[in-house]
Structure 1
Amino acid sequence: MPTAGSYRLEHQLSTCTVGDVWSSVDAQGRPVTVARLNELASADDRWRQAFAAAAETLAASETDQLVVTDADLSGERPWVASDGAAGEIFSLLGQNLTPVGAVPASLSAAGDATHQTSDAVRTESAPATETDPPTLPFQPVLTDSARPVPAVPVSAQPASGLPAFDRPVSAVPVSGAPTPYRGMGSPERPGRLLVVIVGLVSLLVGAAGGAAIVAAADGDDEPAPVVSTAPVAFTDAQLLLPGTPPAAPGLPPEPDEWPDNTWPTFGDEAAGATEITGLEGLGFNFLAPEGWKCTLAEKADAAVHYRCGAFEGDTLTVGGDIVVRACAPICDNTTRVALRAREEAWGLRWTGGTTVQSWVENPSVNGKPEYGLVYVGFTRTAVEQVLSREVVLRMTAPSARADDVKKVAASVLDRTYAQ
């Protein structure tokens, strides 16, 4: 299995001309996404510098921050790990990411898409030769939302010039040291960092033009932006949060704990299950025991609440609540902890290795032989987007039917877990 530093690259999410994005886990099993340059782009110092500058720009941006958990910019293939959408680095460089599996028909005919490489040279119609080395254009293009100066015309940029694979790769970036990364809440001024990328592009259009660009971008003396530390960007009512703190919130999980999830599932054949679909605002389907149904309980500007389970008349006998609400624009670890702390959890300790997913199980609710489960997870609306939504599952069942609730929880986790 491929690795990037101490991270195990488990599943390739998407590719572009100069790199790829992976669903990964660290040594403790905590999930991250990893963006890395491919071999061809890694052999060009311009792409290495642009990749590093884009990562730093996003890490310090006020509006599009990326939590960088680790990085190696001086290795053979530079990479950046994040608990957000690391692929945004390529988007900032003007690259179009293609989800793995969404390959052109010409590639599908050649074999299994999962065995296709992300390197542009491997997908060309003719093989490269020593006299015709593989090349790809150096065109890091700032998006409109991040561009501080007019775009450099594509026509001014060379369409070739990357060295062949056998060109030695420098082990030290131009700066002489890896770029330091900071977490959210302590950004530097984005304008200064954007100069790095603009400066790289200016190398392609001449020193005089580059000097003018840098002068224009660095002339802003406004104070550095301050990132809000508020846990959410909506009111409690808009998020369907209770107006008062929970009487018995969950306790913090044990550090670095990542237990195996042993909940039973419906199995590959989904025997005895029904697919719950079409719940407006939920954003995902899930499996439930036959006979279960879901009814809308509440809906607000930034949240939706359903009651799901087995009913006898109007009484819910097995099951409970599913709530989906928006997370803050920057759904970082601090925000996730703050939202989780708003949930009643019988005063038990949360289980889970990270705040991306955690749960508590109670074998005796209110002193009765009744099983209780609260699951809190955070997910994305699309693979390459940042974490943006909270999913809360709160259900109970008589002890003899506890597996019904556990199977539903396993299905919801499977459909929403952000790897």
Structure 2
Amino acid sequence: MPTAGPYRLERQLSRCEVGDVWSGAGERGRPVTVARLNELASADERWRGAFQAAAEALGQAGADRLPVTASDHAAERPWVACSGPEGSAAEIFTALGQTLEPVAPVPGPPPAAGETTAEPPADPVRAESAPAEPEPPTIPFQAVPRPASAQPVSAQPVSAQPVSAQPVSAQPVSGDSMSNLPAFGNPISAVPVSATPTSYPRTADDGPRPDRLLLLIVTLVSLLVGAAGGAAVVAATGGGEPAATAGPAPATWTDAQLLLPSTPPAAPGLPPAPDGEWPEDWPTFEGQESGVRDVTDLDGVGFDFRIPEGWSCVLAEKAAAAVHYRCGIFAGETVTTGGDLFVRACPAVCDDAARVALRQREEAWGLRWTSGTSLRSWIENPEVDGKPTYGVLYVGFWRGAPEEVLNREVVLRMTAPAAAAAEVRKVADTVRDRTYTQ
């Protein structure tokens, strides 16, 4: 049975594009309704922030507030539990402009001949015999069969109903240009998707919602629109026509612009073993130790990291959506200890499938990846090309800025004589530490 924190999720009530609503019970059997983001929306910081902001706004709306009993916005799938009438937590998705579709209950077995059908209990959430529905699969992204482009969106007038805007496309507009990388349709946008606005279910009197709650929701949607790059600007005033502006279409990159190899790897990595943990026994750069220097402001990298004294980093190549540096100890143009650092853009929707596809583009000595998540994976090789040369390959995904969605990939590939293995391990650790996104 699925859970959300201490709550058992017993029956799914409804679902929408970005989440679902369940009836459930706490440790003492007290009934609640739980709203959760789905996996795809949970991977987008804009949706996580919007979900939290909507829940907090509704939970602070005076006498008409949403009866929130518990929440966890830092969970893998953020959730909010509410007391009160069944389905009350659905109001969060309604405030985000989502259209909820009811989920029919799972029918029980027909009664045997001669038996009478008992009336259902007054509270199906608490009924011991209520069938538990398995957790539904997350709605996947669908492949785009042909190039698609983003359409400008007109803002909707503000009314007493929840404010909504039309979806903003964020999909790559090319399939072939990304080679083995998938193209996506109907991605989660920063603007909540809505059809016909749905009225809020009442939890107190039948009077209108406080004006400040409406303004909070309008402000929330306006902020999300701005974060998306602007498909519509919602006017939160009573008079005048709302202004509309069209933002640029999502960028599409070719393999050359991403500095991806033109041919598949000869020895890609094998699927990772689950539950991989970063090695705790790896050496690290400690504090202000001598013999270490900070690398800052490398053009196109976007983060600082540390390397041993005597190492240097030189630009190898740069493209529209990627940069490649060679860092280490040089003998002429040959790196004797060290190797390559790539930083490139991730597809517009940098979800699990896109991350795995990028990882599969790397030469990985045919060894098995270590990874507990597709956000970061690595391989150690004690004998590169059959020689006593140590090698390490690290692939991670991160945000170019804390407020952005997951949008960058970093690849570190380094080798060293066995006696200098600790040096490249330290560099790999500092790159992981500066870029790893939880």
Relative to structure 1, the CA distance from residue 244 to residue 192 in structure 2 (aligned partners, 3 Å threshold; closer, same or farther) is: closer
SS at match of 1:275: strand
Seq. identity, %: 46
Could you tell me which residue of structure 1 aligns to residue 65 of structure 2?
162
* Preserved contact between residue 248 and residue 344 of structure 1 (Cα < 8 Å): yes
- With 173-182 and 341-350 compared, the bigger mean Cα shift is at 173-182
Query: Structure 2 vs 1, CA of residues 192 and 331 (structure 1 numbering), >3 Å: closer, same or farther?
Result: closer
1:89 aligns with 2:47: yes
Pair 1:92–1:395, CA change in 2 (3 A): same
Separation in structure 2 between the aligned mates of residue 81 and residue 267 of structure 1, nearest angstrom? 40
**Contact 2:307-2:427 at 8 Å conserved across structures:** yes
CA 1:318 to 1:200, structure 2 compared with 1: closer, same or farther past 3 Å? farther
8 Å contact from structure 2 (residues 258, 344) kept in 1: yes
Describe the shift of the 1:274–1:71 C-alpha distance in structure 2 as closer, same or farther (beyond 3 A): farther
* Alignment correspondent of 2:367: 348
Answer with 333-342 or 79-88: which moved more.
Answer: 79-88
- From 383, 398, 421, the counterpart of 1:379: 398
Q: Please report how far the alpha carbon of residue 272 of structure 1 lies from its aligned counterpart in structure 2 after TM superposition.
A: 3.0
Q: Describe the shift of the 1:415–1:94 C-alpha distance in structure 2 as closer, same or farther (beyond 3 A).
A: closer
Query: Within 5 Å, which residues of 2 pair with 1:54-203?
Result: 56-57=16-17, 59=18, 75=32, 78-80=35-37, 82=39, 84-89=42-47, 92=50, 95=53, 136-137=60-61, 161-162=64-65, 169-170=83-84, 172-174=86-88, 182-186=138-142, 194-195=194-195, 198-200=197-199
What SS does the aligned partner of 2:395 have? Answer: strand
Q: Which amino acid aligns with 2:279?
A: N
Q: 1:71 to 1:161 in 2, by over 3 A?
A: closer
Q: TM-score, normalised by structure 1?
A: 0.57
For 1:251, which of 270, 277, 280 is the aligned residue? 270
Q: Is the 8 A contact 2:342 2:410 kept in 1?
A: yes
Q: 1:165 to 1:334 in 2, by over 3 A?
A: closer
Superposed CA deviations along residues 59-82 of structure 1, whole A, max 9, x for unmatched, are 3xxxxxxxx7x9867657644364
Are 2:360 and 1:361 equivalent residues in the alignment? no
Secondary structure of the corresponding residue to residue 355 of structure 2 = helix
Please point out which of 385, 403, 409 is paired with 2:428: 409
Name the aligned partner's letter for residue 261 of structure 1. Answer: P
Instruction: State the match for 1:322 in structure 2.
Output: 341
> Offset at 1:94?
10
Tell me if the contact between 1:80 and 1:86 (Cα under 8 Å) persists in the aligned partners: no
Q: Is the 8 A contact 1:372 1:396 kept in 2?
A: yes
1:268 positional shift:
3.6
Contact 1:85 1:384 in 2 (8 A): no
Q: Which has the higher contact order (CA 8 A, sep 6+)?
A: 1
Contact kept in structure 2, 1:360 and 1:373, CA below 8 Å:
yes
Whether the aligned pair in 2 keeps the contact of 1:376 and 1:391 (CA below 8 Å) is yes
User: What does 1:33-52 correspond to in 2, within 5 Å?
Assistant: none
Equivalent residue, structure 1, for 2:389: 370
Structure 2: how far apart are the matches of 1:392 and 1:403? Answer: 19
Structure 1 CA distance for aligned equivalents of residues 56 and 192 of structure 2: 32
The question of whether the paired residues in 2 share the 8 Å contact of 1:249 and 1:347 is answered with yes
- Alpha-carbon distance in structure 1 between the residues aligned to 2:186 and 2:85: 27
Which AA in structure 1 matches 2:195?
A: V
The reply on whether 1:300 has 2:306 as its aligned counterpart is no
Shift in Å, 1:172: 3.2
SS at match of 1:336: helix
Deviations 1:221-254 (A, max 9, x none): xxxxxxxxxxx94211011011111111111112
Q: Residues of 2 paired with 1:270 and 1:417: CA distance?
A: 23
Distance (Å, rounded) in 2 between the aligned partners of 1:391 and 1:6: 37
3-state SS of paired residue (1:339): helix
2:412 aligned with 1:393: yes
**1:313-353 alpha-carbon deviations (Å, 9 max, x no partner):** 43322100000111111111111111111100111011112
Task: Answer whether contact 2:33 2:86 (CA < 8 A) is retained.
Answer: no
Q: State the match for 1:339 in structure 2.
A: 358
Match of 2:295 in 1: 276
The alpha-carbon distance between structure 1 residues 271 and 235, as it changes in their structure 2 partners (threshold 3 A), is: same
1:271 positional shift: 4.4
Structure 2: any 5+ residue segments left out of the alignment? 8-12, 25-31, 70-81, 89-101, 106-132, 143-184, 210-250
- The root-mean-square deviation of aligned C-alpha atoms, in Å, is 4.1
CA displacement at 1:182 relative to structure 2: 2.4
* 1:188–1:164 CA distance, 2 compared to 1 (3 A): closer
Partner of 2:195, secondary structure, is helix
Deviations for 1:138-196, whole angstroms, at most 9, x for unmatched residues?
xxxxxxxxxxxxxxxxxxxxx76327889x81373156889966243158899996137
Aligned-partner SS, 1:392:
strand
What is the alpha-carbon distance in structure 2 between the residues aligned to residue 164 and residue 172 of structure 1? 12
Any conservation in 2 of the 1:71–1:81 contact (CA below 8 Å)?
Answer: no
